[in-house]
Amino acid sequence: MNPLSGREDLSELLALVIEKYEKETGDLINKNTNRENYGNLAKTLSLISNKLPQTAAELQHDPYEPDPRADLQYPNRKYDITGGQLKDAYFGIVKSPRPYLLDACYIYLTGKGRAASLANATTDPEVATSALARMKDRVSYNTLLWMLVICILGFLFVLFAYLQQGKQVPADTEAYRPSATEIKALEGIWLYYTGAPQARANEEDRYRRYVNNIMEVKFRNGRFEFIRHGASINHYGYMTFNSPGIVSIHSYVRRLPTGEILSPSHSLARLDSSSKRMVSISATWSFESDNRDDIIATRNIYQKIADGGTLEEIENTQQNAACQCKIIEWQSAQRRKRYELRYQSLDDSTDSELRNYLNEESILLLEPKDNVILKGE
């Protein structure tokens, strides 16, 4: 492994950690969006991170204050690392990684903290040479990329001018512009429910199973952008009005630097402003593990709970341990409320709408298969 500079991207750093972990333990990690797959590695790194308040001088990392909850069990201590954190880091979702996660990764890879790698990078010729080589490669790549982009833009400009010569754009091709009332109706905090987990054939408890999500919708640059917080993964996307009451919804799990989009989803929904409710039909994914993920169609329900406020994930608390779920807190100027995101059984729900809309009839497989969607007696 090349020496580390201390400035590695978190996704790159975690890829090296996973590679070393798999070689040393023989425990191969299925690197999909299931946070449970990263659990054993998270516990290994937590053994390092929970010692950080005592190892600053010895392992050359930034100092950490003592953990007042050090006597609790994993994952409720201050410096515990969870499978969900590693999953988000690997898929590039984390924009501001926790310092103790970075230090734990560097110590696992090199035996020293991130500060030691930063110091070595300024004096170690091998690090400097490799960094310079990477910079040259990056410059050459960027130059070629810009030349290609300029050529493509020039070609598209000439093609567009040719196609538009002597033509006028019909008025009916303009995008539909939502009214102020429609913007107010769609902006805000929404709960989201789907029965998609019923399509995961390798999960024995999938019968009449559903999951709840929560999302914040904001109107920006002519469209409604959102982050949908799920029980195990998050979705990023936007909505647009096609006509009064009809909304198109586009989302994905991750966008790679190459432009490739992972797990895209496309939905068409009818918005009922009076009841603050939407029902959608979605082309989405089963998110089945063991490389069995496939395209499915689902019926989903959206229920608006507030016109504004913010959402924040609550981690490493006793409530997390008790519910074994993801906790999202909604906050406004006057109120705050926590929502537990988890997989649940429709048969345990008292909501008749959920039972009617998200049952086994709400899912369509891409290819007909027996014994995937379990039916009632």
Q: What is the 3-state secondary structure (H, E, C) of 306-342?
A: ECCCEEEEECCCHHHHHHCCEEEEEECCCCEEEEEEC
| Backbone torsions φ then ψ of 226, nearest 5 degrees | -155, 160
Question: Which residues sit opposite 330 in a β-bridge?
Answer: 311, 337
Residue 135 corresponds to which tokens in the numbers above? Answer: 């910079």
The answer on pLDDT for 59 being more than 70 is: yes
CB atoms within 10 A of CB 358: 27
Residue 214 corresponds to which tokens in the numbers above? Answer: 């929560």
pLDDT at 7: 61
Categorize the per-residue pLDDT at 362 as very low, low, confident or very high, splitting at 50, 70 and 90.
very high
The residue with greater pLDDT, 49 or 171, is 49
Rounded to whole angstroms, the Cα distance separating 178 from 171 reads 17
Three-state secondary structure call for residue 103? helix
Residue type, 251: S
pLDDT at 5: 58
Asked if residues 113 and 62 have their Cβ atoms less than 8 Å apart, the reply is yes
Q: Report residue 297 CA to chain centroid gap.
A: 20
Domains of the chain: 10-121 (no CATH), 180-365 (2.40.128.120)
The residue with greater pLDDT, 282 or 129, is 282
Using CA atoms, how far residue 59 sits from 110, 127, 149, 202, in Å, is 10, 19, 46, 43
Record the pTM: 0.57
The answer on pLDDT for 138 being more than 60 is: no
Residues 32-61 have a mean pLDDT of 92
The answer on pLDDT for 121 being more than 70 is: no
Residues 23-39 have a mean pLDDT of 88
Residue 51 corresponds to which tokens in the numbers above? Answer: 């010692």
Counting every residue written for the chain, the total comes to 377
Categorize the per-residue pLDDT at 157 as very low, low, confident or very high, splitting at 50, 70 and 90.
confident
The answer on pLDDT for 172 being more than 70 is: no
Q: What's the whole-number average pLDDT of the chain?
A: 87
Rounded to whole angstroms, the Cα distance separating 42 from 51 reads 14
Residues 162-182 have a mean pLDDT of 68
The residue with greater pLDDT, 99 or 92, is 99
Residues 287-308 have a mean pLDDT of 92
Residues 184-194 have a mean pLDDT of 97
Residue 87 corresponds to which tokens in the numbers above? Answer: 């999953």
Torsion from C-alpha of 35, 36, 37, 39, nearest 10 degrees? 100
Rounded to whole angstroms, the Cα distance separating 377 from 184 reads 44
The answer on pLDDT for 74 being more than 60 is: yes
Rounded to whole angstroms, the Cα distance separating 165 from 181 reads 39
pLDDT tens for 76-91 read 999 999 998 898 888 8
Three-state secondary structure call for residue 277? strand
The answer on pLDDT for 2 being more than 70 is: no
Residue 232 corresponds to which tokens in the numbers above? Answer: 């195990």
Question: Which residues sit opposite 296 in a β-bridge?
Answer: 284, 365
